[in-house]
Amino acid sequence: MESSKENKIFVIGHKNPDTDSICSAIAYTKLKQTLSGDKKYIAKRAGLLNAETEYVLNRFEVEEPTLLSNVRLQVRDVDVNRIAGIQADTSIRDAWAIMKEQKVYTIAITEADKLKGVITTNDIAMSYMDVYDNRILSTARTQYKNIVNAVDGEALTGDVESYFTEGKVVVAASSPDVMESIIEKGDLVILGNRYEVQLCAIELEASCIIVCGQDKVTRTIKKLAEERNIIMITTPHDTFTTGRLVNQSIPVEHFMRKEGLTIFKDTDFVEEIKKDMTKDRSWDFPVIDKKGNFYGFISSRRLMDASKKQVILVDHNEKTQAVDGIDEADILEIIDHHRLGGLETVGPVYFRNQPVGCTATIIYTMYRENQVELDKTTAALLCAAIISDTLLFRSPTATIVDEMVAKELAGIAELDMEELAHNMFRAGSDLKGKAAEEICFQDFKQFTVGNVKFGVGQINSMNKDELQEIKEVLYPYLEKAAEIHNLDMVFFMLTDIVEASTELLHYGKGAKDQVIEAYDLPADTEVIELNGVVSRKKQFIPTFVVSLQK
């Protein structure tokens, strides 16, 4: 028996990950793993990577974090009992022995890893109490080797791999005259070591003879049994004990339950399966994986001890930007450089929020504070993140600290920041062949102010013509974007890095008027050009939010 539960802590950025959230998650995971070797930290992503981030990871040969789309507790996160299943022809005696050894009450019957049914200790107990049919062994197609094992016997003749498929079980304690009226062809006969009784059973064409007691079977009897293909078994037990033990040879398939089972998938959410458990009085519930293979058992008592998924959030602290199910997760830390959002935690957390242009700047500072050396790859990732978030220090969010840190990181990684920036921004704005949806949501964040929900996407480019092409594809899609995320307003910033300006696309009732009011633009403005505005975080969101609150 083994547990499926592991002590994992996920380090994850926001839903529409940018270069900072991905690179910071990877770098912070390395730092935490170095400082806390007894726990397993795993970098994850909450959405699809954008082209810029893909370029960075590919350039520095770093594997992208796997997707974690929801942090609600799932069955596979709980302490599932991973006991292996048994075959359908396993005897109930062997099944009982496995249950005792594993200290479990339920075991699965599987075939090629697929669940066929389950059997419980209660099912086995009822098999003793409720079985009065002396043909049950043949009805259940019991294999002779199971019978040998059940009576602690030894096979003298016949093929024990074959099956007892017709006839009844007879305990022959009478005289041969009486036996002739009881024993039929194909029966399994349990008898003592009396020559005349054994000979009678052979003459009456029994399919199997079990000889009880310590005395040896004569060569003559053995030879006669061989000639007639009769299975002959000896057992040290008396006839009463043998008669009781023989039923333990019945295969579990005969008593297993396969109809009406409550079965869960390993991806099911714990909160949802609790309701189904209350409707079923079973002790253990089978779990299957995504391939339909048997995974293990889960019980309500195990759910009582279930721990929430543990997460560390980087580069965000707002619920609308966090991975789905964040309310049901255990947030351990938040490392961020944005304004404080509406995310609430059950208990106190380590929260580090600094007014710098990039989360990667904070991560690098934490490496230095803990005297942990950076390898060239990690330094390159953090440097790329700072270049991305600060637009190579052109953004008003950039600070002297960001620039100093970026230069140090570039030195460690032996990078030319101008060359890296040029290739990153070109990769990020090269969206040829991509659908409007993919372009819109590759760097998209949602916000809530009062009763207004709005989203803001952004593309940065050094090429005006490229931005114009993106506009033609994207503008008609904004209505659909609002519908998908149930937003009142949708904005998209087409930011020209060279000109340090943004053309703002908009959709939604009052969206355009609100922006005109926020930036004090002429009322007849058709195309909204925001000169000097390149930062969503520092130049657009604060100004727009203040306007909304008025």
Mean pLDDT of 179-205: 88
pLDDT at residue 265, rounded to an integer: 92
* pLDDT (tens digit per residue) in 274-289: 878 887 777 888 889 8
Instruction: Look up residue 303 and give its amino acid.
Output: L
> Could you tell me how far CA 93 lies from the centroid of its own chain?
35
Residue whose pair of structure tokens reads 């200290």 in the numeric block: 103
Q: Which domains does the chain have, with CATH numbers?
A: 8-73+308-428 (3.90.1640.10), 76-110+256-304 (3.10.580.10), 141-249 (3.40.1390.20), 436-549 (3.10.310.20)
- pLDDT (mean) for 338-355: 84
Calculated CA dihedral for residues 238, 244, 248, 249, nearest 10 degrees = 50
Per-residue pLDDT of 528-539, as tens digits, reads 999 999 988 889
Mean pLDDT of 300-315: 83
DSSP-based three-state secondary structure for 447: strand
Check if the beta carbon of residue 96 is closer than 8 Å to that of residue 17: no
Q: Are the beta carbons of 111 and 88 closer than 8 angstroms?
A: yes
Residue labelled with tokens 């009992």: 81
- At 384 the pLDDT is 97
pLDDT above 80 for 131: no
Handedness of CA 354, 359, 365, 371 (dihedral sign): positive
Gyration radius of the chain over CA positions: 36
Contact 418, 453 (CB under 8 A): no
State percent of the chain over pLDDT 90. Answer: 53
* Overall average pLDDT of the 112-140 stretch: 83
Sequence-distant (≥ 6) Cβ neighbours of residue 294 within 8 angstroms:
85, 108, 110, 113, 114, 115, 286, 287, 288
pLDDT at 234: 94
pLDDT tens per residue across span 203-226 = 999 999 999 987 788 999 999 999
Query: Quick check: helix, strand or coil at residue 411?
Result: helix
d(CA 118, CA 112): 15
User: pLDDT category, 5, cuts 50, 70, 90?
Assistant: low
Please say whether the beta carbons of 294 and 288 come within 8 A: yes
Q: How confident is the model at residue 6 (pLDDT cuts 50, 70, 90)?
A: low
Residue 355's contacts (CB-CB under 8 Å, 6 or more residues apart) are 337, 399
Write the CB contacts of 423 (distance below 8 Å, at least 6 apart in sequence): 55, 59
Angstrom distance (rounded) from CA 418 to CA 37: 37
pLDDT at 430 > cutoff 90: no
Average pLDDT of the segment spanning 461-487: 90
Give me the pLDDT at residue 340, please: 84
Beta bridge pairs of residue 106: 120
The token pair at 200 is 């009678």
Give the global pTM: 0.66
Separation CA 140–CA 207 (nearest Å): 16
Beta strands in 162-253 (DSSP E): 163-164, 169-172, 188-191, 208-212, 231-235
pLDDT at 367: 98
- What is the Cα–Cα distance from 49 to 67, expressed in whole angstroms? 10
Name the one residue in this structure whose structure tokens are 């910033």.
493
pLDDT, residue 273, reads 84
Are the C-beta atoms of 342 and 321 separated by less than 8 Å?
Answer: no
More confident residue, 384 or 425: 384
Report phi then psi at 43, rounded to 5: -75, 135
Listed range (187-191, 199-203, 270-274, 474-478) with the worst mean pLDDT: 270-274
Q: Which residues contact 529 (CB under 8 A, 6 or more apart)?
A: 501, 502, 503, 504
Secondary structure element (H or E) that encloses residue 20, with its range: helix 19-35
The pair of three-digit structure tokens given for residue 500, joined into one six-digit string: 């340090």
Phi-psi region of 374 (alpha: psi -120 to 50; beta: other; left: phi over 0): beta
- Nearest alpha-carbon partner for 292 in 310, 267, 318, 317: 267
* Residue-wise DSSP of 266-310: TTSBHHHHHHHHHH---S-EEEE-TTSBEEEEE-HHHHHTPPPPE
Distance CA 24, CA 413 (A): 16
Each residue's pLDDT tens digit, 54-98? 999 999 999 999 999 998 888 888 878 888 889 999 998 999 999
For residue 321, what are its two tokens?
């930007």
Round to whole Å and give the CA distance between 499 and 289: 53
Nearest to 313 by CA among 363, 355, 357: 363
Give SS3 for 189.
strand
- If you average pLDDT over residues 161-185, what whole number do you get? 85
Per-residue pLDDT tens for 351-397?
999 999 999 999 999 999 999 999 999 999 999 999 999 999 988 88
Q: Residue 181: its pLDDT value, please?
A: 82
pLDDT given at position 305:
67
Angle at 97 between CA 96 and CA 98, to 5 degrees: 90
Q: Which residues pair with 297 in a beta bridge?
A: 81, 286
Give the rounded distance of the alpha carbon of 200 from its chain centre: 63
172-176-179-183 Cα dihedral, nearest 10 degrees: 90
The C-alpha angle with vertex 534 and arms to 471 and 528, in degrees rounded to 5, equals 50
